[in-house]
Amino acid sequence: MSLSRSPSGGGAKGNPTERKRRPAAIRARRLTKVYGEGETAVHALAGVDLEVARGEMVAIMGPSGSGKSTLLHLMGALDTPTKGTVSIAQRRFDSLGDTELTLLRREKIGFVFQFFNLLPALSAEENVLLPALISGRRDAATRDRAHGLLERVGLGERANHLPAELSGGEQQRVSIARALLMNPELVLADEPTGNLDTTSSGEVLSLLRELNRKDGHTIVLVTHDPDAASKAGRVVFLRDGKIAGEIRGGSTKRVSEHFAALG
């Protein structure tokens, strides 16, 4: 059994030409999101174009309120755009109904949240299994996969622990294992280290980076931390609901300078 997304792994390898030719895992076109109406309307996104190739790891940075979570929620089919299109593996999903969206979310997208969102009454392994249980799958192979993923994130020994018996960093690693259970097309992480101490943050980031580089998972990560963002192959900056530039392969210093310039 392989826990990798691609048999060859090596997600971030390859020269720029190869990178261009890789198919898109997700493509967002002219995405607009307006919350509310009339005078109180908030234009959270104002025409965002973003394409993430299979096997890429992209960080999204921007000041608070710049639309990062909104963008991630639209890419993760957790919400629908006011205007614009989103497609995963060439399939548009911005106009799907609730049932189809739920299915797509369950099978194609792994979500990692700042506050882990684990169910407190379930063990680590049951939490990882949850997406399959919801789909009515409780076969031995799926259980093996859940256990394998817990081992992959370094928590094989903690499979029977409840979330309250785990540290923040460990809980986040459980939630990463859960995000990978259905072998999604992409993993979206909204400030996954925002609630962790420096050591746990480092561990979670190394894990995400490894899942990208070694296992070939496509990852989009929202973060405030230039050091975390610099681990991604590409950093996209958002300001006032618009893309405000991007850099590839930047150092922490370069990322910090761009971020600071956003004001």
Residues in the site for ligand ADP, rule: CB under 6 A?
35-36, 42, 44, 62, 64-70
**Can you list the pairs that 15-19 forms with residues at least 24 positions away whose Cβ atoms lie under 8 Å?**
19/53, 19/56
Q: Which of residues 222-241 bind Mg ion (CB under 5 A)?
A: none
Token pair 């070694």: residue: 214
Q: Does 127 bind Mg ion (CB under 5 A)?
A: no
> Of 106, 147, 107, which is closest to residue 127 (Cα–Cα)?
147
Least distance from C-beta 73 to Mg ion, angstroms? 9
Q: Helix, strand or coil for residue 36?
A: coil
Q: Which of residues 25-64 bind Mg ion (CB under 5 A)?
A: none
Q: Which is nearer to ligand ADP, 62 or 250 (CB)?
A: 62
Token pair of 204, please? 């979670």
Least distance from C-beta 97 to ligand ADP, angstroms? 21
* Torsion of Cα atoms, 209 then 213 then 216 then 218, to 10°: 40
Q: Which is nearer to ligand ADP, 41 or 141 (CB)?
A: 41
Q: Which does 64 bind (CB under 5 to 8 A by kind): ligand ADP, Mg ion, none?
A: ligand ADP
Q: Which does 66 bind (CB under 5 to 8 A by kind): Mg ion, ligand ADP, none?
A: ligand ADP
Least distance from C-beta 228 to ligand ADP, angstroms? 15
Q: Are 209 and 231 in contact (CB under 8 A)?
A: yes
Q: How far apart are CA 97 and CA 38, in angstroms?
A: 26
Q: Which does 90 bind (CB under 5 to 8 A by kind): ligand ADP, Mg ion, none?
A: none
- Calculate the alpha carbon distances from 221 to 18, 50, 122, 165, 224 in Å: 23, 13, 26, 27, 10
DSSP lists the bridge partners of residue 215 as none
Task: Return the residue of 69, 142, 200, 218 that touches Mg ion, per CB under 5 A.
Answer: 69
For residue 149, the one-letter residue type is L
Least distance from C-beta 69 to Mg ion, angstroms? 3
Least distance from C-beta 79 to ligand ADP, angstroms? 8
Q: Which does 168 bind (CB under 5 to 8 A by kind): Mg ion, ligand ADP, none?
A: none
